[in-house]
Amino acid sequence: MHNNKQNHRTTQQRKVILEELKKVKSHPAADEIYRMVRKRLPRISLGTVYRNLEVLSELKEIQQIELAGSLKRFDGNPENHYHLRCIICGRIDDAPFELENNLEKQMRTFTDYTIISHKLEFIGICPECSSKLP
């Protein structure tokens, strides 16, 4: 994790990364951003891109979309259901309520996408971790 207490500077690299990202609506991955930024700063490194994306997220200038990543968890229950994830210990519990078919119905009225399914995850602190907090 990164230290939140740092004083952040406005470097060329940081500025250009932010500008390029704000320009597009394609939600690029880090290496795509690297490619975009290199057109203006040919000597920038991938490491710098990663570090700045982290800092810019902390500063709430951008956000990271973490859905559907490559680190997977597996669930012996094949039925569609929602999950609760603890931000402290990382445990995942099943959510105690049903899928909302309404959400997909709503979405269909608003877009031209063919909606196939949806994923909903709640983020919070599990009772066990709560009880251990100072």
Partner DNA sequence: GTACCTGCAAAGCTTTTGCAACTGG
Partner DNA sequence: CCAGTTGCAAAAGCTTTGCAGGTAC
| Pair of tokens at residue 54 | 């982290």
Q: Which residue lies nearer to a second copy by CB, 10 or 111?
A: 111
Residue indicated by tokens 């250009």:
16
Give me the least distance between CB of 9 and a second copy, in Å please: 20
- Phi and psi (nearest 5°) for 86? -85, 125
Q: What track of x and - describes contact with a second copy for positions 46 through 85 (by CB under 8 A)? A: -------x------xxxxxxxxxxxxxxxxxxxxx--xxx
Strands 92-94 and 83-86: antiparallel
Give me the least distance between CB of 83 and DNA, in Å please: 16
Distance of CA 72 to the CA centre of its chain: 15
Task: Provide the binding-site residues for DNA, judged by CB under 7 A.
Answer: 5-14, 29-31, 41, 43-48, 50-52, 54-55, 70-72
